[in-house]
Amino acid sequence: MQRITLLSAVFIVVGLTLPTLAEVVPPGTDAEIQLRLAPFGSLCRKGEACGQQADTVSTGPQSGEDVYNQFCFACHATGASEAPLFADAEAWQPRLAKGLPTLMSNTLDGLGLMPPRGTCMNCSEDELRLAVDFMLDPVR
């Protein structure tokens, strides 16, 4: 009788599993496999061509509404991160009482759960001021 050593047992197990592992890859030509692995879609930013003719984009500052809709809306429309809701006069009154310079300082530096610049790192101070004014207009 032959004794099976540990090493020969490993070779037997590996030998039995390798053909099984090789069959895990779905069949197909190289082109079919590449097609299956291709990204589903693409992500484009405002102002990029995105495979189409690009729209004319203003090179001037963004409006307060544009900044709000792109960067502020997520928290100020839902109250996430304890943000005061848009057009909620009661929530904004204590902040208004501190004055616009304090509101702008908090906007630029962040406050509590609000990140600096409200995550708009490319916004100028003027664009952020326009966004703050846009949010304050309904409650003044």
* Residue tagged 């962040």 (tokens): 110
The residue ranking higher by pLDDT, 8 or 133, is 133
Contacts of 46 by beta carbon, 8 Å cutoff, 6+ apart: 57, 70
Contacts of 12 by beta carbon, 8 Å cutoff, 6+ apart: 4
Q: What is the model's pLDDT at position 23?
A: 57
- 52-102 pLDDT tens trace: 654 555 567 899 999 999 999 999 999 999 999 999 999 999 999 999 999
Average of per-residue pLDDT across 108-127: 94
- 29-44 pLDDT tens trace: 888 888 878 877 777 7
The residue ranking higher by pLDDT, 70 or 22, is 70
CA distance 35 to 135: 47
> Do residues 75 and 114 lie in contact, with contact meaning Cβ atoms separated by under 8 Å?
yes
pTM for this model (two decimals):
0.59
Query: Which domains can be identified in the chain, with CATH numbers?
Result: 64-139 (1.10.760.10)
Ramachandran sector of residue 27 (left: φ over 0; alpha: ψ -120 to 50; beta: rest): beta
- 88-108 pLDDT tens trace: 999 999 999 999 999 999 999
Q: What is the model's pLDDT at position 36?
A: 79
